[in-house]
Chains A and B, each alone.
Chain A
Amino acid sequence: MEFLWCLVVGVMTTCGVFLMLERHIVRFLFGMILISSAINLAIFVAGRLTRGNPPLIASDALLPAAGYANPVPQALILTAIVIGFGLLLFTLLLAYRAIKELGTADMDKMHNTEAGQ
C-alpha cells in the first residue's frame, strides 16, 4: 500500500512545486502548505504504513499489540508539523506585510533591495 501513497506524495509535491513557482505570493504559500503536507506524508510512508493499530499500550499491558504502527515517524511528523506551522504563520504574515508595504502581491515585482546592483 506504500506504493499508492508514494504516488500521492509525488502528485502533491508536483502541485506544490508548481504553486511555489507562481508570482502571487499567497499562491506560493499554498504551494508551501501542499509541499509541507506532502513531506509529512512522505515521512509517514517512509516509516511504513500499518492499518488500524495505533502505537498505544493498553492499560493492562506492558507492550503494544503485535503489529503496532511505527511510532517514530509519527513523532517526527508531529515535530515537523508544529515547526512547519510556525514557519507558515510567519510567512503568511510576512506576505501580508509585504503586500501592504510594497503594494503588490507579485513576487517578481518585489525587488527594491536589489535595485541598482
Chain B
Amino acid sequence: MTQWPLVLPVFIPLLTATACAFSFRSHKLSSVISWAGALANLCVALLLIQRVISQGLLVTAFGDWQAPFGIVFVADLLSASMVLITAIIGVAIVLYSTTDLRSKPFYAIYHSFIHVLLAGVMGSFLTGDIFNLYVFFEVMLITSFGLMVINANRQQVDGAVKYVVLNLISTMVFLLAIGLLYGATGTLNMADLNAKVALLPETTMMLIAGLFLFGFAIKASAFPVFSWLPASYHHLPSAIVALYAALLTKVGVYALIRVFTVVFDLVDSGYQPLLIIIAGLTMLTGVLGAASQFNIKRILSFHIISQIGYMLMGLAIYTPLAITGAIFYIIHHIIVKANLFLIGGFLQRRQGSDNLRELGGAYQSMPWLALLFLIPAFSLAGFPPLSGFWGKFLVIKASLQTDAYLLAATALFVSLMTIYSMTKIWAEAFWKPLPDNAAAPIALTRLENCLYIVPIVALAVITILIGLLAEPVYQLAETSAINLLNPERYINAVLGNMPEPGQISVLAAGESQP
C-alpha cells in the first residue's frame, strides 16, 4: 500500500477541485469541500513524510510500468517535506480565501483553481520523470493564468498579459530542452538520465543544461529574467498572490535543484560560476527593487526575487552545507512570504489600499496584527532565532567556506536592505498615525476577522517553530542535500532491479536492439 500516500497529494486536490467546480452554486458547500480537501491533503502529507522518514524513499510506478519505462512518483525527504509545506500553505490559503474572496462572482472557481494549483505544485515535487515535470509545470501555469484573470480589472489584465507572455517563453524553452534531452539520451526518467547524461559529449550536455537553466530561471524569477513577477503580482487578490508568492517561484528553484543534482551535475555542467553571478545579482536587484517601492505587495514581490537569490546561492555553491541552506531557505520562505502577503492583504482589506502613503495607525488599531507582522517580517529579514536566520546563516557560512567572499558580502548587504524594507512597512503601515486623508477602516465581522487571522497565526507559529526547532528541520534539509549530491540511493530506488548504471550506458552507446 505504498501507492496511496504518493498518489493522493495529486489525486485529492484534483478531486476537490472538480467537486468545488460542480458546487459553484453554493458558496457554503464549495467552501466546505475546499476545506475538507485541503485538510485531507495535509493529513496525507503528514502521513507521507512519516512514511518517508520511517521507510526511506518511496516510489510508485504508475500503471505498474517500472522506471525508466513508465512514470514514477518518488518521495524522498526533500519531496515529502515540500509536499508537507505545500499542504500547509494550501490549508492557510483556503481558509483565508473563504473570507478574502467571498464577494467575488467566481468564488467556487477560485477554490477549484487553488486546488489544481496545489496538485500541480505537489506533482512537480513528487514526479521522477522530466516530461511529467513539464506537464505539472503546465498544470501550474495554466491554473496561475486562470487565477490571474478571474474577475480581473484593467490592471490585472495588463499584468496578466506580461505574466503570460514571459512565462510562455520559459515553458517553450523547457519543452524544447526536454525534447533535445530525449533526443540525446533516449530516456525521460530523471534517475535514468543521471547515468546517460554523463555519457554525452560535453557541448551537447552544456547546450541542454543551458536551456533547462534558462527555463527554470524564468520560473524561479532569477536575474535578469524576473520581470514578469513584479509586473503582475501586486494587483492580484491577496489570497492568490500569497499562494503564488509561496509556491510558484519555489517550484522553479526546486526544479533547478533537482535537475542540477540528479540529472546534470552543476559543476560538470559548467554553469556553476554563472549561477553564482546570477544568484548574487538576483539578490541585489530584487532587494533594490523593493527599496524603491511604496506598496506593500510590490515591496514583497520584489523581495521574492531577492530571496530567490539566496536559494540560488545555496545551489550555486553546491556543497552539502550550501544546498542544506537552500532547502532550509525554501521551507522557511514559503511559510514566511505567504504570511506576509496574507497580512498585507488583511491591511488592504481594512484600509482599501496597500499603498504605504495611505496606510497607518495599524499598531494602534490592531496591536495583535502588529505583533503577528513582526514575526514573518523579521524572519524574512533574517533575525535570529526566527526561521530566516538559519537559512541565511547556512548559505553565508557555505559561501565563506568556499571563499566566495563577494557573494557572502552581497548576501549580507541584501539582508540589511531587507531589514530596511521590513521596517519601512512596519513604520509606515503600523507605527505611523493614519493619514488624515485616508479612508476610515472597514469594520469586519468576528467571523471574517477570525478567518483572516487563523492562517496568519498558524503560519507565524510555524515560523517560530522552524526557528526554535531548527535542529530537526536542519537534519531534514541536510539529509536531503546529501542525498541530492549523492543521488545513487535515489537512482537505485527508482530504477529498482535494473542492471547497473554501467550496463545501461553500454546499451545507450551501442546499437539499438532489433
Across the interface, do B232 and A113 meet the contact criterion of CB distance under 8 Å?
yes
Question: For the complex, is B111 an interface residue (Cβ under 8 Å from A)?
Answer: no
* Among all A-B residue pairs, the 7 with the closest Cβ atoms: A46-B183, A43-B179, A113-B159, A112-B158, A83-B138, A113-B158, A113-B155
Across the interface, do A36 and B172 meet the contact criterion of CB distance under 8 Å?
yes
Question: For the complex, is A26 an interface residue (Cβ under 8 Å from B)?
Answer: no
B152 cross-chain contacts in A, Cβ below 8 A: 97
Interface string of A86-105 (1 = CB under 8 A from B): 11001100110110011000
Across the interface, do B161 and A25 meet the contact criterion of CB distance under 8 Å?
yes
Question: For the complex, is B35 an interface residue (Cβ under 8 Å from A)?
Answer: no
Closest beta carbon of chain A to B288's beta carbon, Å: 12
Q: How many residues of B contact A (CB 8 A)?
A: 42
Question: For the complex, is B15 an interface residue (Cβ under 8 Å from A)?
Answer: no
Closest beta carbon of chain B to A52's beta carbon, Å: 19
Give the dominant DSSP class at B's interface.
helix
Closest to B514 in A: A66
Question: For the complex, is A15 an interface residue (Cβ under 8 Å from B)?
Answer: no
Question: For the complex, is A55 an interface residue (Cβ under 8 Å from B)?
Answer: no
Across the interface, do A86 and B142 meet the contact criterion of CB distance under 8 Å?
yes
Question: For the complex, is B393 an interface residue (Cβ under 8 Å from A)?
Answer: no
Q: Given A28-B165, A73-B179, A113-B155: A87 and B230 within 8 A (CB)? A: no
Closest to B173 in A: A39
Q: Given A39-B179, A98-B157, A110-B161: A76 and B131 within 8 A (CB)? A: yes
User: Whole-angstrom distance between the alpha carbons of A48 and B154 in the complex?
Assistant: 47
Across the interface, do B182 and A87 meet the contact criterion of CB distance under 8 Å?
no
A48 cross-chain contacts in B, Cβ below 8 A: 183
Question: For the complex, is B450 an interface residue (Cβ under 8 Å from A)?
Answer: no
User: Whole-angstrom distance between the alpha carbons of A111 and B159 in the complex?
Assistant: 8
B179 cross-chain contacts in A, Cβ below 8 A: 39, 42-43, 46, 73, 76
A94 cross-chain contacts in B, Cβ below 8 A: 145, 149, 157, 160-161, 164
Across the interface, do B165 and A107 meet the contact criterion of CB distance under 8 Å?
yes
Question: For the complex, is A19 an interface residue (Cβ under 8 Å from B)?
Answer: no
User: Whole-angstrom distance between the alpha carbons of A44 and B231 in the complex?
Assistant: 35
User: Whole-angstrom distance between the alpha carbons of A102 and B298 in the complex?
Assistant: 22
The total number of A-B Cβ pairs within 8 Å is 102
Give the residue of A25, A79, A112 whose beta carbon is less than 8 angstroms from that of B154: A112
Q: Given A79-B135, A94-B161, A102-B157: A39 and B175 within 8 A (CB)? A: yes
Q: A residues 45-74 with Cβ under 8 Å of B?
A: 45-48, 66, 72-73
Question: For the complex, is B51 an interface residue (Cβ under 8 Å from A)?
Answer: no
Across the interface, do B182 and A113 meet the contact criterion of CB distance under 8 Å?
no
Across the interface, do A39 and B164 meet the contact criterion of CB distance under 8 Å?
no
User: Whole-angstrom distance between the alpha carbons of A95 and B156 in the complex?
Assistant: 13
29 pairs of residues in contact across A and B, judged by CB atoms under 8 Å: A25-B161, A32-B172, A39-B172, A39-B175, A42-B176, A45-B183, A72-B188, A73-B179, A76-B179, A76-B182, A83-B138, A87-B142, A87-B145, A94-B161, A95-B161, A97-B149, A97-B152, A102-B154, A107-B161, A111-B158, A112-B155, A112-B158, A113-B159, A113-B231, A113-B232, A113-B234, A114-B231, A117-B230, A117-B298
Q: Given A43-B175, A83-B135, A98-B157: A117 and B149 within 8 A (CB)? A: no
Closest to A113 in B: B159
B293 cross-chain contacts in A, Cβ below 8 A: 117
Give the residue of B154, B165, B183, B235 whose beta carbon is less than 8 angstroms from that of A47: B183
B26 cross-chain contacts in A, Cβ below 8 A: none
Q: B residues 161-175 with Cβ under 8 Å of A?
A: 161-162, 164-165, 168-169, 171-172, 175
User: Whole-angstrom distance between the alpha carbons of A83 and B140 in the complex?
Assistant: 12
Most buried by B among A83, A90, A98, A113: A113
Closest beta carbon of chain B to A70's beta carbon, Å: 9
Closest beta carbon of chain A to B298's beta carbon, Å: 7
B135 cross-chain contacts in A, Cβ below 8 A: 79, 83
Give the residue of A83, A86, A102 whose beta carbon is less than 8 angstroms from that of B158: A102
User: Whole-angstrom distance between the alpha carbons of A43 and B155 in the complex?
Assistant: 37
B235 cross-chain contacts in A, Cβ below 8 A: 113
Most buried by B among A25, A43, A45: A43
A36 cross-chain contacts in B, Cβ below 8 A: 172
Question: For the complex, is B292 an interface residue (Cβ under 8 Å from A)?
Answer: yes
Closest to A48 in B: B183
Question: For the complex, is B141 an interface residue (Cβ under 8 Å from A)?
Answer: yes
What would 12 more interface pairs be, CB under 8 Å, given A20-B165, A42-B176, A87-B168?
Answer: A39-B179, A46-B180, A46-B184, A73-B182, A76-B182, A90-B145, A90-B146, A94-B145, A97-B152, A98-B160, A101-B154, A113-B156
Closest to B289 in A: A117
User: Whole-angstrom distance between the alpha carbons of A110 and B162 in the complex?
Assistant: 9
Interface string of B178-191 (1 = CB under 8 A from A): 11101110001000
Most buried by A among B135, B182, B184, B232: B182
Interface string of B120-142 (1 = CB under 8 A from A): 00000000000100010010011
User: Whole-angstrom distance between the alpha carbons of A111 and B298 in the complex?
Assistant: 15
B514 cross-chain contacts in A, Cβ below 8 A: 66
Closest to B294 in A: A116
User: Whole-angstrom distance between the alpha carbons of A25 and B156 in the complex?
Assistant: 17
Closest to A103 in B: B154
Closest beta carbon of chain B to A9's beta carbon, Å: 9
User: Whole-angstrom distance between the alpha carbons of A86 and B161 in the complex?
Assistant: 16
Closest to A75 in B: B131
User: Whole-angstrom distance between the alpha carbons of A95 and B168 in the complex?
Assistant: 14
A80 cross-chain contacts in B, Cβ below 8 A: 175
